[in-house]
Copies of this chain bind each other. A is one copy, B any other.
Amino acid sequence: MERVEQHASFGGRQEVWTRHSEVLGGATRFGVYLPPAALAGERCPVLYWLSGLTCTEQNFITKAGVQQHAAAHGLIVVAPDTSPRGPEVPDDPAYDLGQGAGFYLDATQAPWSTHFRMETHVVHELPAWIEAHFPASDRRAISGHSMGGHGALSLALRHPGRYASVSAFAPIVAPSQVPWGRKAFAAYLGDDPAAWAAHDTVALIAQAAERLPLLVDQGEADDFLGSQLRPELLQAACADAGHPLTLRLHPGHDHSYYFIASFIGEHVAWHARALAG
């Protein structure tokens, strides 16, 4: 495990590490923000952040302004890459498949299944690294944006008890029903409808084992709102199942990090309350 960046930030430290991942079959990078409390030796809870299509570990740590809030609340923030990487890893020329587009699941179909195992990486391998090498407790929360919002919601629903809280910005809530999700699911999971449903937030809500409250922020000027994101499907599924959902629609806000930065402080506070509980 090698540290490739470290920067003082709001009394804490933003770091970037690289390590060989058995699960992904190659080196992977992740950002770790250590708040002042962690630098002082306290074991802090951890917020995992999952980024969207085309992102690396860099986008969130450089653009979201999360460090100010993580410092104030004493949270470690971990930001993995969005897929396996490297010349030996399969890829696709499109931005929405292959490297940069892992969709936070374990692929079952060739050629993807050997490296594209982001679910096992994010849910198990990465937290094991974090909890062994940093002053982290085993209290975890998860959030993300767009494809990473799908990741946060679907992983929290698929692994009850693993996360104290979950939130998302502009998530793909029904990948089985929209072009981004259908393309990725067909490639990674084949044509089995049950496999698709097992990774689709709207489908998972109906049979959720725990009723973990969802916080979802969505910009009304988001270019992908009607075609790829469709928060009304999540709203209907939660209403049907009696699943607690706080869905906030924000006039004028788009799909960018300017939107995330405007509300990340409220998400960090939401997670901090749950992690302290």
Contact = CB atoms under 8 A, between A and B. Distances in A.
A7 interface: yes
Contacts of A252: 8, 13
A45 interface: no
Interface in A209-268: 219, 221, 250-254, 256-259, 261-262
Nearest to A13: B252
A256 B65 CA distance: 14
Contacts of A258: 7-9, 14, 67
B9 A261 contact: yes
B259 A68 contact: no
A246 B254 CA distance: 39
A17 interface: no
Interface in A1-54: 7-11, 13-14
A183 interface: no
Contacts of A262: 8-11, 67
A62 interface: yes
Contact of A261 (B65, B254, B257): B65
Chief secondary structure at chain A's binding surface: mixed
A246 to B, nearest CB: 20
A63 interface: yes
A186 to B, nearest CB: 33
Nearest to A62: B63
A254 B7 contact: yes
Contacts of A13: 252
Contacts of A219: 8
Contacts of A11: 262
A7 to B, nearest CB: 4
A79 B259 CA distance: 20
A10 B250 CA distance: 11
Nearest to A61: B258
Interface of A: 7-11, 13-14, 62-63, 65, 67-68, 219, 221, 250-254, 256-259, 261-262
Top 8 A-B residue pairs of the complex, sorted by shortest distance between their CB atoms: A8-B252, A7-B258, A65-B65, A9-B258, A8-B253, A10-B262, A7-B256, A62-B63
